[in-house]
Amino acid sequence: MSVDLFFTNLLYGLTIGSALILIASSLSIIFGVMGVVNFAHGSLAMLGAYLGYSLILWKMNFWVALIISPLVVGALAMAIEGFTLRPLYGKDPLLQFFLTYGLAMIIGNLVLYFWGSDPHGIDKPILLQGPTSIAGIIYPKFRLFVFIFSAVLAIVLWLFITRTTWGIILRAGIHNRELVGAFGINMSTVYTLVFALGSALAAIAGVILGAMRNINPAMDLDLVTSGLIAVVIGGLGSFRGAVLGAFVIGLSESFGAQLWPGFSKFTVYIVMVAILLWRPEGLIKEV
Amino acid sequence: MEKRGKNKTTDLARREFLKTMAALGAAATMGSLAAPAIARGADKPIKIGLILPYSGGSVTLGLRAEQGVRYALHLSKYRDRVKFLVEDSREDPAVCVEKAQKLVEREEVDIIIGPTSSHTALAVSEYCKTKKKLLLLVYGGNPKIAGENCSRYTFQCGHTTYSVSAPGVSWSFDNLGKEIFLIGSDYSSGRDICGWFKEGYLKRGGTIVGEAYPPIGTAEFAPYLSQIQHAKPRPKLVAGFLLPVDTIDFTKQYAEFGLKKEGIPIIFALGVYNLACLKAAGDPAEGMYDIIHWTPTLPHKENVEFMEGFEKFAKMEVEDAVVLGYEAGTCITYGLDQTGGDPNNEKLVDAIAKRQWVGPRGKCSFGPNHSVMHTTYIRQVKRVKGKLAPMAIKDLGLQTTPGDATGPGGQCKM
C-alpha cells in the first residue's frame, strides 16, 4: 500500500468512525447512567433520519432538519422513558432489553407504514457538496464537515460530563445511584433527560448519515450493531471508550476493505474479538 | 287416507330423490365429457406463492414485482379464483427454500413466483425441480438456471444476468472507454457480470485497471472509491453491478469523491438506475448508464397501455420490477388460457414453453432452456421535465442466454 493510499484510508477511516461517535457515545451514556442496553437506539437514529428527510421535503433546509429532528426524537424519547422504561427500573435487565427490542420493532414498522420500503436520500447543503483537496488528497467536503462536527460535539459532551454540575451528577449516578438520590437529586428526572439527550444525539447521527448514505427501513440494525460493537470495544459505559471504539470500527472498515477485500465485513468482528481477548473490560474502563 | 296420503308423499319424495340423483349422475357424466376442465380443476382456486424481497438490499423490487403480478391476474378472467400467499425472501437461500417448502408442502400452492437474486433463485429452482412445481422467476437471472441447472419446471421470465450485461460490453468499450475499473457486489451476480466485462475487454485489447468486490449491504464505499481514485492508469469507465440499494450509496459517494466531476461514467448491469434508485441517489446519478430490457419511454402500444392501466390500478409508477412481475403474471394467465383454466403444472409448463408475446418490453419468447428472449437496451439517466429518468439510448436487439456449451451457464439438459 502506497503512503498516499495509506493516508487516504486513514482519513476515510477516521470519518467513518466520527459518524459513529454520536451513536456509540449516546448509547454508552444511556447504558452507563441508566444501566439500559437500548436496542431501540438504532431505530431512534433511523427515525431521526426519516424525520430529517421529510422536513427537507417540506421545504426546510438541512440545518433546520438537523435541529428539529433531534428535538422531536428527544421529546418522543422522554415519553418512551416515562411510560415504558420507568416501570422496569430495578427489575431483571433482560426485561429492559426485551422492551427496547420491542420498541425497535414498533418504530421499524411505523417507519415502514409512513415512509414505505423504498430507500430515500437527504440532500446535502449546497455548500458541502462535492470534493475538496487536503494535502493533495481529494476529500468530500461533507465528510470533512462530519469529521469536524462530530469532533466538536464529542468535545462539548466531554466538557459537559467532566466540567458541569450535571455532568458530575451523571458520573456520580453511574457509581452510586442511591447516594445521589440521598442528596435530594431526582434520579427519575436525570434518567429521563439522559434518555432524551442520548436519543436526540442518535437522531442527529441519523440525519448526518442519511446525507452520507441512503436511508431505508433496514438501517436501524446496522446502526445499533455498529454502536454496540463500538461500546463493547471501548468499554461499557465509558464515553471516551465509545469514541475510541467508533474510530476502531472506522479504521477496521477502511483498512479491512483494502487489505482483506473478501473479509471486509468480518474485519470489525475480528478486531472486536482480538480486543476483548486482550482486554475483556474494553479499551477504557471509566466514564 | 292419512296413512295412504303419507305413503304417497313418501313415494313422491323417493321418486323425486331418485330422479334428482339420476339427473345429477347424468349431468356429472355429461359434464365430464362436455367440459373436462371443470371436473379436472378448472374451478378450483389457484394458489400463487410469491417469494420476493420485502427487506434488505433488493427491497425496491419486492412490492413492485408483486403489484405487477397482481395487475396481470386482475386483468384476467381468473382474478376471482386466485389466492396470493406472500413471503419475504430476505435474500437468503436457506430462508427462500424454507419459504418454498412451506408454500408447496403446507399451503399446496399451484405456482411459485420469485425469488429475485441469483443465488436464492437457484436454490428455489432446485427445490421446485424435485417437487415438479412450476416456478416463474421475475429476476433470479442466474445463468446456471439457463444452463447446467435448468429445469422443466422453471422459467426465467425476466432475464438472466448475462442477457442484461454481456450484450452491453462491446458498446461500453466502443463508446465509454477502454480502461475500466470493475466493481461488483460480492456474490455470484456481481462476480459473473464483472467477469463478462473483463473477458470482453481483454478480448478487444482493453485494460482492467482494478477490481473490487464489496460485500452485499455495504453502505460505506470510501475504501473502494479510494482504490478507484488511486488506480493507474486512470480508468475511463467504472462498470459492473451492485445491488440497487448499494448502488444508491455508491453513486452518491462516487460524486462526493470527485470521480463524477473527473468525467468517469458508471455503467451498471441489470437496470439498477430505476426510478426508486434515482429518487434516492438524486443528481449524482445524472449521466450514468445501465443495461436492461425496458424503459418507461418505449413507444409501442403494449407498453403505453400497460403503463396507463397499471398506474390507475396500483396508484404507483411503473418500474422495471413491475414490468417483470406483470410479464410473469401474464405467463400464468396465458398458460391457464391454454389449459382451459386448469393449473395442472405439467400442462401449464407445456403451454408456457411455447409462448411468444409482445408485452411492455416488446417481443419476447422462451428458448428451449426456458430462458426468456428479450430486447436489451443501454439506458442513460437524463433529466426529463425536471425529473431524473432512465432513457434508452441504444437498442442492442433481441438477446437470450444460450443453454448449450457456448452459454455462460453450461449445457442445459431438461
| Residue B55 shares a structural domain with residue B76 | yes
Rounded Cα distance between A188 and A57, Å, is 37
Closest CA to B320 of B382, B390, B268, B265: B390
**How big is chain A, counted in residues?**
287
Instruction: Summarize the confidence of residues A86-93 as an average pLDDT.
Output: 85
Query: Which residue has cell 443501454?
Result: B378
pLDDT of residue B57: 65
The verdict on residue B385 lying in a domain is: no
Confidence grade of residue B151 (pLDDT, cut at 50, 70, 90): very high
Same domain, B96 and B181: no
Looking at chain A from residue 225 to 284, which residues have their Cβ under 8 Å from any Cβ of chain B? 253-258, 261-262, 264-265
In this predicted structure, the answer to whether residue B11 has a pLDDT above a threshold of 60 is no
Residue bearing the bigger pLDDT, A263 or B31: A263
Clarify whether residues B318 and B348 are in a common domain.
yes
Q: Is pLDDT at B241 greater than 70 in this prediction?
A: yes
Rounded to the nearest angstrom, the minimum Cα separation between A129 and chain B is: 7
DSSP SS3 for B212? strand
Q: Is position B19 within any domain?
A: no
List Cβ neighbours of A195 (8 Å cut-off, separation of 6 or more). A30, A34, A36, A38, A77, A78, A80, A81, A85
Query: With an 8 Å Cβ cutoff, are B55 and A130 in contact?
Result: no
- The packing angle between helices A264-278 and A219-234, to 10°, is 30
Backbone angles phi, psi at B149, to 5 degrees: -105, 25
Same domain, yes or no, for B53 and B154? Answer: yes
Backbone dihedral angles phi then psi of residue B292, each to the nearest 5 degrees = -165, 180
What would you measure as the largest C-alpha separation in chain B, in angstroms? 114
- In angstroms, what is the C-alpha Rg of chain B? 26
Is B17 inside a domain boundary? no
Query: In this structure, is residue B359 part of a structural domain?
Result: yes
Report the pLDDT value the prediction gives residue B237, as an integer from 0 to 100: 97
Q: Hey, which bits of A84-188 come out as E strands?
A: 131-134, 137-140
Residue B3 has pLDDT above 50, yes or no: no
Q: Does this model's pTM top 0.90? A: no
Shared-domain flag, residues B302 and B362:
yes
Taking contacts as CB-CB distances below 8 angstroms, the residues of chain B near A146 are none
Cell of A144: 470533512
Cα–Cα distance, A204 to A44 (Å, whole number): 10
**Which has more pLDDT, B164 or A12?**
B164
Residues ≥6 apart with Cβ < 8 Å to B249: A213, A214, B218, B219, B220, B221
Q: Do A130 and B59 touch (CB under 8 A)?
A: no
Q: pLDDT tens across B390-413, in order?
A: 999 999 999 999 998 888 999 999
Chain A, nearest residue to B61 by Cα: A118
CB pairs under 8 A between A and B: 113
If you ran DSSP here, which 8-state letter would residue B70 be given?
Answer: H
Q: Would you list the domain boundaries of chain A?
A: 21-223
Same-domain status, B228 and B285: yes
CB atoms within 10 A of CB A32: 26
CA distance to partner chain B, nearest, from residue A16 (Å): 8
Q: Give percent of chain A above pLDDT 90.
A: 50
Beta strands in A98-225 (DSSP E): 131-134, 137-140
**B30 domain-assigned:** no
* B368, part of any domain: yes
pLDDT, position A230: 93
For the domain that residue B280 is a member of, what is the CATH number? Answer: 3.40.50.2300
Nearest residue on chain A to B57, judged by CA atoms? Answer: A218
Distances (CA, A) of A241 to A230, A231, A248, A284, B206: 8, 7, 10, 5, 49
Query: Which of A112-116, A184-188, B13-17, B258-262 has the lowest average pLDDT?
Result: B13-17
Q: How many domains does chain B have?
A: 2
Choose from A225-234, B269-278, B302-311 the range with maximum mean pLDDT. Answer: B302-311
SS3 category, B268: strand
Under the banding of pLDDT at 50, 70 and 90, the label for residue B89 is: very high
Q: Which of A120, A216, A264 sits opposite B214 (nearest CB)?
A: A264
The beta-carbon neighbor of B226 closest among A9, A129, A218 is: A9
Name the grid cell of B16.
323425486
Q: Name the residue of chain A whose CA is nearest to B58's CA.
A: A118
Please name the residue ranges forming H helices in B208-300: 222-230, 244-256, 275-281
Structure-derived torsion over alpha carbons of residues B13, B14, B15, B19, reported in degrees to the nearest 10? 100
Domain end point (choices B292, B311, B331):
B292
pLDDT at residue B258 tops 80 = yes
Q: Is residue B265 part of a domain?
A: yes
Q: Does A144 touch chain B (CB under 8 A)?
A: no
Output the average pLDDT for chain B: 89
**Residues B274 and B311 placed together within one structural domain of the fold:** no
Nearest chain B residue to A265 by CA distance is: B215
Same domain, B274 and B365: no
Shared domain check, B179 and B151: no
Residue with cell 437468503: B92
Question: pLDDT tens digits, residue range B25-60?
Answer: 444 444 444 444 444 556 789 999 999 998 776 777
Same domain, B194 and B276: yes
Last residue in a domain, options B267, B292, B317:
B292
Q: Which amino acid type is present at position A51?
A: L
Question: Mean pLDDT lowest for which of A234-238, B280-284, B388-392?
Answer: A234-238
Tell me the CA distances in angstroms from A32 to A39, A136, B59, one per residue in order.
14, 42, 36
Residues of chain A neighbouring B277 (CB-CB closer than 8 A): 119
How confident is the model over B157-169, as a mean pLDDT? 95
From B352, B353, B292, B61, select the one nearest B163 (Cα to Cα): B292
Per-residue pLDDT of A228-237, as tens digits, reads 999 999 988 7
Q: Indicate whether B24 pLDDT > 60.
A: no
The answer to whether A140 contacts B253, with C-beta atoms less than 8 Å apart, is yes
pLDDT band at B343 (very low <50, low <70, confident <90, very high): very high
The residue in chain B having the minimum alpha-carbon distance to the alpha carbon of residue A121 is B280
Spatial separation of the C-alpha atoms in residues A108 and A43, rounded to whole Å: 7
ipTM surpasses 0.85: no
Q: Is residue B413 part of a domain?
A: no
- Let me know whether B67 and B216 are in one domain: no
How confident is the model over B181-208, as pLDDT tens digits? 999 999 888 999 999 999 999 999 999 9
φ, ψ of residue A55 in degrees (nearest 5)? -60, -40
- Is B177 found in the same domain as B285? yes
pLDDT at B41: 58
Does residue B16 carry a pLDDT above 60?
no
Confidence of residue A267 (pLDDT cuts 50, 70, 90): confident
Residue type, A151: A
Can you give the residue range of the structural domain that contains B366? 46-159+298-374
